[in-house]
Structure 1
């Protein structure tokens, strides 16, 4: 608590002497080494505290972010002004806002005692996925995937995201995936790249550059024009991804005979169509919904299905995580 209270003085985590104000307990909790330069120490501290603030109830999360200078609407102000801002948002007096901050910091202190999350093992940097929701519509032509994410910036001035999508073709299919992407909110598509016959990338420009630790939400609709897609949807995170949920709506006129869960399997297992044995039930409106937490980079999560009848519709999409896209591999 003493070390956290030291951080909130002045400009909070925007302070020029921040690296000199990080106490030994915070250094240990945030894996900050004595040899880390000031910029690296600040990055580790901001990302760890941002993550832990996200676990607090909404009012305590707001109080902690404002006190530390991590909230975009309160960043850069001195502590008294940040407390006044918090009081106005909470519709309370400044004394109540201070008590809310104290409570939030006590909760942060408890969370800081837990082990730090594993680091991002992929060389890509700049942001990670805090939560992702995917909705795959197989009951319409063409197939449509809606991808909504909340990300956290791991660097200052994050301006663009590169979003990969893979749509592997079945035998005898057109080798060109012909995927389109429409930004629903949170940015605009400024470039589409055809990397290979099965893989495309889209560049999403954000409304404004993000600061280190700042959260941002966006939604994109991907539409593959190819027919005869493979029967699965998998998200394979290339970056850190904390939460992933997917809902697939099948065509009720031609439902699959079997659906099974893909819970952290190698990509080759997905390509080979191996039944995991973890069977899923399609509900009466033709949907299957799943949730995954703390995903491992490089493994695939989602669902796969099969049809008894020859010629039944096969559709598959792989989403490449944290770089998500649509058929993402």
Structure 2
């Protein structure tokens, strides 16, 4: 068992949860030296910038905790949208009601969450890709491509994290490359399944479209939000792959393709962070996957690098000897 003084961040985290938590007006004055160092907060940072760095780092780390501890930490900091702005005792009462426990147990859950956060904070963070796309990042994404439908469609569900206050719109991109020599039908449609509404469609090129999604209400810095969208190209001939090439930070991706179970491809392989040209060339990576008896194949990717492609590719040609 670790002694109390071996948790260097716990005292500083406890200081942050007082009053209105990370919504406190004097937050920048209550950030301790250990947290300032790991969050790269300098004396030159204005209060708003110090808050932004702290909230984003703590939100990211809370996302790595088990569900109950993540909820406890977010409530303690005032980062959970249903507990934001309240004073600590009221946030603890809210947490106790959600956990169906007494307030004393809720406090113990917060203490445990802070110890787990301490362990994460003392570990150097992984290198992050820099990107020019500001406003939000993808904590997790689940994509299901239905090739057993006519026409095919893609359903995406994402959990995002706001990197700014008052985030009220998202720009979503979707590409459907045409086969060489095929009729370039430009139409790509998108329908919101939940978590927002599509208010604008922009056909950037024959193969690429952008859609503006308006959120139900503006997000606060560090707030999570989940939404789902169905994309459908008005094109019957699709290239034999599904990949995501993240232009912004993406921590986790789950891909599932559902084929016509009467005619599945004999070869499916994983693309785990490859250049786009590798995808276009259709070279079998040798990382084979099997289609199950209901016609599905899937895989999960973590800590995606921006600019590289992740997903699945297949061929209806048998493997050569």
Query: Which TM-score tier does this pair reach, normalised by the shorter chain?
Result: over 0.9
CA distance in 2, matches of 1:284, 1:72: 42
Residue 231 of structure 2 is aligned to residue 222 of structure 1: yes
Matched residue, 2:247:
238
Matched residue, 2:182:
173
Residue 74 of structure 2 is aligned to residue 57 of structure 1: no
Q: CA deviation at 1:238?
A: 0.7
Cα deviations across residues 108-149 of structure 1 (Å, max 9, x unaligned)?
111111112433411001111111101111111101111001
Unaligned runs of 5+ in 1: 310-329
Check 1:95–1:255 CA distance in 2 against 1; reply closer, same or farther (3 A cut).
closer
Unaligned runs of 5+ in 2: 1-9
Q: CA deviation at 1:307?
A: 2.1
Per the normalisation by structure 1, the TM-score is 0.90
Matched residue, 2:127:
118
How well do the aligned residues superpose, as a CA RMSD in angstroms?
1.4
Cα deviations across residues 226-267 of structure 1 (Å, max 9, x unaligned)?
122211110111111111011101123332232111110001
Q: Tell me, what secondary structure is at the counterpart of 2:49?
A: helix
Q: CA deviation at 1:167?
A: 0.6
Preserved contact between residue 30 and residue 116 of structure 1 (Cα < 8 Å):
no
CA distance in 1, matches of 2:116, 2:270: 36
Q: Tell me, what secondary structure is at the counterpart of 2:218?
A: strand
Q: CA deviation at 1:2?
A: 1.1
| 80-89 or 229-238, larger mean C-alpha shift | 80-89
Matched residue, 1:324:
none
Matched residue, 2:34:
25
Q: CA deviation at 1:205?
A: 0.7
Q: Tell me, what secondary structure is at the counterpart of 2:70?
A: helix
Matched residue, 2:103:
94
**Match for residue 136 of structure 1 among 141, 145, 149:** 145
Per the normalisation by structure 2, the TM-score is 0.93
CA distance in 1, matches of 2:244, 2:15: 41
Preserved contact between residue 264 and residue 301 of structure 1 (Cα < 8 Å):
yes
CA distance in 1, matches of 2:260, 2:101: 51
Residue 294 of structure 2 is aligned to residue 305 of structure 1: no
Runs of 4+ residues deviating >6 angstroms:
none
Residue 264 of structure 2 is aligned to residue 255 of structure 1: yes
Q: CA deviation at 1:272?
A: 1.4
Q: Tell me, what secondary structure is at the counterpart of 1:151?
A: strand
Q: CA deviation at 1:16?
A: 1.1
Cα deviations across residues 263-285 of structure 1 (Å, max 9, x unaligned)?
10001111111221112211222
Matched residue, 1:314:
none
CA distance in 2, matches of 1:137, 1:5: 48
Q: CA deviation at 1:79?
A: 1.4
CA distance in 2, matches of 1:261, 1:96: 45
CA distance in 2, matches of 1:106, 1:308: 54
Preserved contact between residue 234 and residue 302 of structure 1 (Cα < 8 Å):
yes
Matched residue, 1:283:
292
CA distance in 2, matches of 1:236, 1:203: 19
CA distance in 1, matches of 2:228, 2:293: 27
Preserved contact between residue 169 and residue 177 of structure 1 (Cα < 8 Å):
no
Q: CA deviation at 1:305?
A: 1.2
CA distance in 2, matches of 1:189, 1:124: 20
Residue 43 of structure 2 is aligned to residue 34 of structure 1: yes
Q: Tell me, what secondary structure is at the counterpart of 1:216?
A: strand
